Amino acid sequence: MMRTALACAATAAALLAASSASAQDGPQIAWNVGLFSDYVFRGFSQTDEEAAIQGGVDLTAGSFYAGAWASNVDFGDDTEAEVDLYGGFRTETGGFAVDVGVVAYLYVEAPDGADYDYVEFKAAASRAIGPVTAGAVVFYSPDFFGLDEEATYVEGNLAFTPADKWTVSGAVGYQALDVNDDYTTWNAGVAYALTENVAIDVRYHDTDVDGPLSEDRFVGALKFFF
């Protein structure tokens, strides 16, 4: 039962949107919709290994951004969906792209007393050198999902563009928890832009946790950007 955040491709798209918005007058709005064979968050399936439909909207005004995102989930109870609300500030300094923000994870129809809802604070930095972009991100929650209270997630990620329309990316993360056991997760995949607004992504996920929802798996996705 570990829920989740946004994929590398979505993050890259958001950063591109922010860069574009900085060069234009007035706020910019971008929409995204995705069809996924599974919804995996930090190595754990959030949909009991079933398909997911996800979508979101981002508003960017200069260096500031805010947005909302949602997905169906299946925790084996009455919970129907996850809704994320987020906002933050992006800038560039010394050749690094910097992003600080906050994310609220909310669960529709969660059982009373489940204590699923929580908030994370985020700090991220990345640097592009030619076709390679390397980055790191830290998420901290003072009151995490379910039984856990304080929790910290640290991730290093790498993306490579070997040719036009192609992106190869991967990440390794460590989730520290105060009740459940800490664990490591990793993923790697390839994305291809079919058009300016449509992309496909095939990604491998795994963890060092034994269990049906955390075992290794491939996830395919079809994403639309507007």
43-77 tens-digit pLDDT: 999 999 999 999 999 999 999 999 999 999 999 99
Calpha distance 213→134 (Å, rounded): 28
CA angle (57, 58, 64) in 5-degree steps? 160
Cα 48 from Cα 28, distance rounded (Å): 35
CA atoms within 13 A on the CB side of 180: 15
pLDDT tens sequence across 171-184 = 999 999 999 999 99
| 32, 9 contact by CB (below 8 A) | no
Residue 28: half-sphere exposure toward Cβ, Cα within 13 Å = 19
Kindly give, in sequence order, each residue whose CB lies less than 8 Å from that of residue 129, ignoring residues fewer than 6 positions away: none
Tokens of 48: 């009991």
Determine the Cα–Cα distance for residues 199 and 193; give it in Å rounded to an integer: 4
Residue from 32, 11, 35 nearest 201 by CA: 35
pLDDT at 25: 64
For 104-160, what is the HEC assignment?
EEEEECCCCCCCCCEEEEEEEEEEEECCEEEEEEEEEECCCCCCCCCEEEEEEEEEE
Please state, for a pLDDT cut of 70, what percent of the chain lies above it: 89
Residue 26: which pLDDT band, with cuts at 50, 70 and 90?
confident
The tens digit of pLDDT for each residue in 75-117 reads 999 999 999 999 999 999 999 999 999 999 999 999 999 999 9
CB of 173 within 8 A of CB of 186? yes
Residue pair 151/177 in contact (Cβ under 8 Å)? The answer is yes
Token pair of 4 as six digits: 């989740």
The pLDDT tens digits for 143-192 are 999 999 999 999 999 999 999 999 999 999 999 999 999 999 999 999 99
**Residue among 185, 180, 183, 179 nearest 207 (CA):** 185
Distance CA 125, CA 53 (A): 29
Cα torsion at 37, 42, 45, 51 (round to 10°)? -20
The confidence band for 11, taking pLDDT boundaries of 50, 70 and 90, is very low
Tokens of 1: 């039962």
Which pair of tokens denotes residue 170? 């991967």
